[in-house]
Amino acid sequence: MKDRIILATVNCKKELYAGTSDDFSAIAPNIPMGLLSAYIKSKGIDVSMIESDVDGISMEALIKQIESTEPLLCGIICAGANPASSTMTMAGVVDFFKKLDRKKSNVKYFIWGAHPTVLPERTLRETGADFVVRGEGYHAIVDLFHTLHSGKGVEHIPGLSYLEKGVYRQNQDAQLIEDLDMLPMVDWETMNPSRYRAHNWHCLGEVNKRTPYAIIWTSFGCPFQCNFCCINNLYGRRIQRFRSIGSVINEISVLVENYGVKHLKILDELFVVNPARIKEFCDRLQDKGYDLNMWAYARVDTVSRDLLRRLKKVGMNWISYGFESANPQILAETQKGCKRSADEVIRMTQDEGLNICADVIVGLWNDNLQTMNQTYEFLTKYNFEWVNMYPLFAYPGTELYREESRSWRNYALYGYECIPSGTKYLTPREVLEFRDRAFTRYHSRPEYLEMIENKFGIETKEHIVNMTKIPLKRKLLEESNSSK
């Protein structure tokens, strides 16, 4: 055995993203894994990363690579570019452990991410992993490595869960890191931005120039109470903690000056939330004079015209707003707590020259065909540059989740086995069918394609037309049609 840690993602992209995985989806750096790796390395431990989903490494090849390297400890990372990724990737993680012959292996395996944090016992029993690391994991993984090296017991390590002769054991929770600036910068020399590709909509006008690409984080968590959101699963409570702006600007400088990055996503679930902090971000970034194409999340009640104008000047070309529903009663039931007029903010954002990625959920509990069509008509009214339509998934860790034995594949929006939640009035099949048709219909409308061509060019228009021609294969819809 070698005194080292391997961190790895499992490649199940084809299964999760179907036909969109080839040309239209992003190829994203796994920032949570990159942060873990950088922290472990800062503690003097030999650590390496295997991004199987980025490099197209099969599960069998990944197992062979891990076992031939013989690390003391291997972490399977159940996380991605958004909070929902953790549950989506669990399907692949379970398959990985089924293929793994533990009888021939001396490697100790742990699983880390938001999903296993809230379902640690189920994760252990589904996979046969040695440990689940709950919470942020930085201290726990380092402690686990040293403890295994010394041959001592693990019962003292906060944030660790494991099975002992078939009995579930859960150590005390680990405390959250107080000062986020103690975390080192992601090792961009290893996670080279030339390996990654931005979302197609992020690069409208440059759809064939989506590389190099990087993602940067400036905060952890979110203070709001949306009942469908699993962002705070990893942190245990509704909280948002911030990294210093100086640290953020320094990392952007490294990405631009050393790796030629232009396309940049801000990972925060809610970036535009603190006006003074955003102003500092813009002032310090404007001094650099970089040519950037950035996008970030905001709420309609956290922006102002001044902030939008400042953000546009430093290269924030896209703002993603979570509108969720156009029906006031249904929106209120999400506990989003937003009372500001969306119309005012949409017009203001458009006036300041920012593109809008509109996120909505079709299939909230009291949705029916009429209310979902109301949301669709809201989208067409403003002819947004891009629309993401999500059916509702009751993610583990949210108050909507109910313990059940369903496959984690059901949570993959673009996957064949996708099964969203139903509503009081609609079955999961009806919700999924509406979502798929509405997404294609929106991005195929003549007035939309005309706007895209005028704003971004004929090449971008043709790219979108080709995207909408790809049918999503749905087991749920096939079964329904065959039963008629």
124-181 pLDDT, tens digit per residue, is 999 999 999 999 999 999 999 999 999 899 999 999 999 999 999 999 999 999 999 9
Position 22 scores a pLDDT of: 65
Do 163 and 232 share a structural domain?
A: no
Block residue for tokens 């291997």: 74
The verdict on 226 and 320 lying in the same domain is yes
Do 6 and 103 fall into the same domain?
yes
What value does the mean pLDDT take over residues 434-446?
A: 98
Average pLDDT for the chain: 94
Predicted confidence at residue 480, as pLDDT, reads 60
Return the pLDDT at 337.
Answer: 86
Residues 89 and 196 in one domain: no
Burial (CB < 10 A; 0-12, 13-18, 19+), residue 124, is buried
- 181 assigned to some structural domain: no
**149 and 250, same domain (yes or no):** no
Q: Grade residue 404 by pLDDT with cuts at 50, 70 and 90.
A: confident
* Residue 235 scores a pLDDT above 70: yes
Percent of the chain residues topping a pLDDT of 90: 87
Q: Do residues 127 and 249 both lie within one domain?
A: no
The confidence score (pLDDT) of residue 421 equals 95
Cis peptide before 420 (omega within 30 of 0): no
Same domain, 146 and 274: no
Q: Is residue 178 part of a domain?
A: no
Length of the chain (residues): 484
**What is the mean predicted confidence (pLDDT) over 207-231?**
94
pLDDT at position 70 is 93
Domain count across the chain: 2
Instruction: Calculate ∠ Cα 437-440-441, nearest 5°.
Output: 80
Residues 394, 397, 400, 406, Cα dihedral to 10°: 40
What is the Cα–Cα distance from 278 to 34, expressed in whole angstroms?
25
Of 481, 464, 483, 465, nearest in space to 473 by CA: 481
Please compute the mean of the pLDDT values over residues 404-424 and round it to a whole number. Answer: 92
Choose the weakest-confidence range: 75-89, 201-215, 248-262, 299-313: 75-89
pLDDT reported for residue 83:
75
Q: Considering the entire predicted model, what is its pTM?
A: 0.94
Residue located via tokens 């690391």: 133
Dist. CA 179–CA 226, nearest whole Å:
26
- Tell me: the pLDDT tens digits for 265-309? 999 999 999 999 999 999 999 999 999 999 999 999 999 999 999
Residue 383 sits in the same domain as residue 429: yes
The mean pLDDT of 115-127, rounded to a whole number, is 97
Cα–Cα distance, 68 to 482 (Å, whole number): 47
| Predicted confidence (pLDDT) per residue in 187-215, tens digit | 999 999 999 999 999 999 999 999 999 99
Handedness of CA 396, 399, 402, 403 (dihedral sign): positive
Mean pLDDT across the stretch 47-61? 95
Q: Please report whether residue 183 resides in a domain.
A: no
Whether residue 18 lies inside any domain: the answer is yes
Q: Do 155 and 246 belong together in one domain? A: no
Within-domain flag for 59? yes
User: Does any domain span residue 177?
Assistant: no
Both tokens assigned to 439: 């997404």
Average of per-residue pLDDT across 451-459: 98
Supply the pLDDT for residue 104.
78
DSSP result, 102-138:
GGG---EEEEESHHHHHSHHHHHHHH--SEEE-SS-H
Question: Domain containing 38 — which CATH number?
Answer: 3.40.50.280
Structural domain contains residue 182: no
Q: Are residues 406 and 452 in the same domain?
A: yes
pLDDT value at 20 more than 70: no
In a domain, 176, yes or no: no
Distance CA 325, CA 228 (A): 13
pLDDT at 14 over 80: no
- Over range 434-449, report the average pLDDT: 98
Kindly state the tokens that stand for 84.
Answer: 């929902």
pLDDT band at 45 (very low <50, low <70, confident <90, very high): very high
Q: What is the CATH number of the domain that holds 435?
A: 3.80.30.20
* Core vs surface per residue 464-480: b (16+ CB within 10 A) or e: beebeeeebebebeeeb
133 φ/ψ angles, rounded to the nearest 5 degrees: -95, 115
Residues 156 and 218 in one domain: no
76 and 150, same domain (yes or no): yes
pLDDT at 481 over 70: no
Confidence of residue 338 (pLDDT cuts 50, 70, 90): confident
Q: Which of 26-40, 69-83, 106-120, 191-205 has the lowest mean pLDDT?
A: 69-83
Q: 360 and 319 in contact (C-beta within 8 Å)? A: no
Q: What are phi and psi of 212, to 5 degrees?
A: -75, 160
Q: Is 142 helix (H, G, I), strand (E, B) or coil?
A: helix
Q: What is the pLDDT, as a whole number, of residue 17?
A: 62
CB 145 within 8 A of CB 73: yes
Q: Return the exposure string of 273-285: e unless at least 16 CB atoms fall within 10 Å of the residue's CB, then b.
A: beeebbebbbebb
Axis-axis angle for helices 120-127, 85-99 (nearest 10): 30
Boundaries of domain holding 352: 188-482
Q: Is the pLDDT of residue 16 over 80?
A: no
